[in-house]
Structure 1
Amino acid sequence: MTAATKADVAPLTPEQRADFDRDGYLMIRGALDSDETARYSAALDRVYEEEKAAGRLSPEGSMHKLSAATSVPEMAELLNHPKTFHYVWSMIGWNFHVYHSHVDVHPPIEGKRPFRFEWHQDGGRQNREIETDPRPMLSVKLAYFFSDLSEPGRGNTKIVPGSHKWNRIDGPPRRDVEWPDPPGAIEVTGEAGDVLFFDRRIWHARSDNYSDVTRRVAFFGFTPRWIRARDEVEDLPNRSWWNDLDPVQQQLLGGCAPTGDHGWGHYPDQTPVYQWLAERDLLDPEYPPLKP
């Protein structure tokens, strides 16, 4: 396992903090050496081939797999890598954990993919249910590049520098309506071994990969440890009394519907409390947390 060493315990400088506060991101150049990059890339390719054999890739042949360290155990070395770890604790202190991570592989695609407006802030329902302007940071993310993304058009992450202080951007009436990127948008470029460190609020999206390079990236999201259930609810579905609970009770104890519901609220019609409110006509289009 790679661990932070004494040579890499200095916090970010005041200038780096100011840059991060202004722009919402920092680039960490050359964080991984060539041997590390090759090892993680090979591990990611191994899992990609397993997912391909199991028929779990997207129609375009891409892979988006949650729980990076569980899916690719070698990635656990990146949790506190000595070249990146101090960026995280410099910005959010010591009382944090990884609450969300994923590994992505995006091979080149042929032909033009149907348009979909993908610009978003991370955090799901946080961005509707917290009323401050701007909303709080709450989490930061590290994105490790295992491919040469030094040119645009390779599936690069697109961001709008400084947009982490914006609660909204203009967008289309439906995601499939052609719409321009937000003003000031850029594609983040970097060599294999570079890392993007960003505020989860920054507006971002992924570009389509029309190059001849396969994009390989791992993302780790860090948040305060109090953003989680404190009750001991692990392994609840295997408790003898679990199936006696109604769906609302299961949600309140941390359960998720098998059809895709999770805590970010991307699937409201699959979320028991949403269903309970909808059945009673208690949703309210005028109040963001209760919008249908």
Structure 2
Amino acid sequence: MTLLETAPTAPTAPTAPTAPTTQAITPMTEEQRARFERDGYLVLPGVLEAREVAYYSEALDEVHARERAAGRLSPEGAMHRLSAVAALPAAVGLIDHPATFPLVWSVLGWNVHVYHSHLDVHPPIRVPKPYRFEWHQDGGRQNREIETAPRPRLSVKMAYWLSDLSRPGRGNFKVVPGSHLLDRIDGPPRRDLRWPEPPGAVEVTANAGDAVFFDRRLWHTRTDNHSEHTRKGMFFAYSHRWSHNRDQNEALLASPAAAGFSPVQRQLLGAPLAAEGEVPGDHQWGHHPATTPLYGHLARHGLLDPRYPPLRP
């Protein structure tokens, strides 16, 4: 019986494979820490056993089928589904997996949470795609709004691979080792203009069951998948819990008392601002300035100074 058969509207996963009870839970080794601080990432071979790979891969396939039925895939059938555990409760076993989670708390400490996650499926590309320069650091507006150099780490990410990426050209993760200490790399004035790859860029190869642990500041991209293999993975980003709102204003914002609040006041109190078609999380990351009240206020008054990165759109 599949997840869709047991619960069409809110799938409940079968019992997850139990992590080996004999596996020692140990912190990051000094050698791992030195490599992580030098390169900005670690490749972790074989952290998932074959039965775990099969379990999570099958569960991910069912989400992909559900998204296909709902018409939410890209034209080539790719899926980038945010809020991994909300979309797939079966994925919960990965957020504190004993083979990987110690690296998270070894770097960030104990006061952490998963603040961002996604499920990815990328079938082979059969029709050429327009060129787009996709090199980036994670964090979005963080990379303009924090003024220190280099910018602080703030978060780390764990990528679990559920398909064979042991050769280049399969949609591999591509990185510039050591670039987590660079606040910028050379790039085109527009993303659709062809541009040389950053010096030192390497495609990370991995087997199903491997993971990659990386600093959010690492300059990276996903390559196109021109193989016969479908690229499948699950991604979990961890940050400190204080990055959440501390005030609890939900009831206030839903009450008659908030009727007279200005749009900027509602933004400052944590109101959801996403318009139709906008992803709420993307909106909070600053990807939609046009529907962010304070941005509109500053723009109307000529107060967006392009010389200062936090005030650029």
Name the counterpart of 2:169.
153
Name the counterpart of 1:54.
70
1:262 partner SS: helix
2:283 maps to 1:262? yes
> Structure 1 residues 55 and 244, CA, compared in 2 at 3 Å: closer, same or farther?
farther
Name the counterpart of 1:165.
181
Name the counterpart of 1:63.
79
Alignment partner for residue 299 of structure 2, among 261, 273, 278? 278
Alignment partner for residue 174 of structure 1, among 184, 190, 201? 190
> Structure 1 residues 86 and 210, CA, compared in 2 at 3 Å: closer, same or farther?
same
Q: Distance in 1 between matches of 2:310 and 2:231?
A: 36
2:55 maps to 1:39? yes
2:308 maps to 1:291? no
Whichever residue aligns with residue 256 of structure 1, its letter is: L
Whichever residue aligns with residue 294 of structure 2, its letter is: V
Q: Distance in 2 between matches of 1:242 and 1:211?
A: 54
Partner deviation per Cα, 1:63-90 (whole Å, 9 max, x = no partner): 1010000011100110100110111011
Whichever residue aligns with residue 92 of structure 1, its letter is: L
Q: Distance in 1 between matches of 2:259 and 2:223?
A: 43
Q: Distance in 1 between matches of 2:245 and 2:26?
A: 32
Q: Distance in 2 between matches of 1:240 and 1:215?
A: 49
Deviation at 1:245, TM superposition (A): 3.7
2:284 partner SS: coil
> Structure 1 residues 273 and 207, CA, compared in 2 at 3 Å: closer, same or farther?
same
1:223 partner SS: strand
Q: How does 1:202-221 map to 2 (within 5 A)?
A: 202-221=218-237
Say if 2:273 and 2:291, in contact at 8 Å, map to a contact too: no
Q: Distance in 2 between matches of 1:3 and 1:95?
A: 23
Q: How does 1:1-292 map to 2 (within 5 A)?
A: 7-234=23-250, 239=255, 245-254=261-270, 255-259=272-276, 260=278, 262-292=283-313
Partner deviation per Cα, 1:191-246 (whole Å, 9 max, x = no partner): 00000000000000110011110111111000111111101245777555556543
TM (norm. structure 2) is: 0.89
Whichever residue aligns with residue 177 of structure 2, its letter is: P
Question: Bigger CA drift: 255-264 or 117-126?
Answer: 255-264
> Structure 1 residues 239 and 61, CA, compared in 2 at 3 Å: closer, same or farther?
farther
Identity %: 60
Whichever residue aligns with residue 263 of structure 2, its letter is: P
Say if 1:5 and 1:82, in contact at 8 Å, map to a contact too: no
Partner deviation per Cα, 1:123-147 (whole Å, 9 max, x = no partner): 0111011111111111000000011
Q: How many residues align?
A: 292
Whichever residue aligns with residue 273 of structure 1, its letter is: L
Whichever residue aligns with residue 224 of structure 1, its letter is: H
2:63 partner SS: helix
2:218 partner SS: coil
Query: Which 5+ residue runs of structure 1 have no aligned equivalent?
Result: none
Q: Distance in 1 between matches of 2:294 and 2:77?
A: 35
Whichever residue aligns with residue 50 of structure 2, its letter is: S
Question: Bigger CA drift: 257-266 or 105-114?
Answer: 257-266
Deviation at 1:250, TM superposition (A): 2.4
Say if 2:112 and 2:241, in contact at 8 Å, map to a contact too: yes
Say if 2:159 and 2:233, in contact at 8 Å, map to a contact too: yes
Q: Distance in 2 between matches of 1:189 and 1:121?
A: 20
Whichever residue aligns with residue 273 of structure 2, its letter is: C
Q: Distance in 2 between matches of 1:287 and 1:5?
A: 53
Q: Distance in 1 between matches of 2:254 and 2:153?
A: 35
TM (norm. structure 1) is: 0.95
Q: Distance in 2 between matches of 1:242 and 1:53?
A: 39
> Structure 1 residues 47 and 245, CA, compared in 2 at 3 Å: closer, same or farther?
farther
Say if 1:4 and 1:81, in contact at 8 Å, map to a contact too: no
Whichever residue aligns with residue 151 of structure 2, its letter is: R
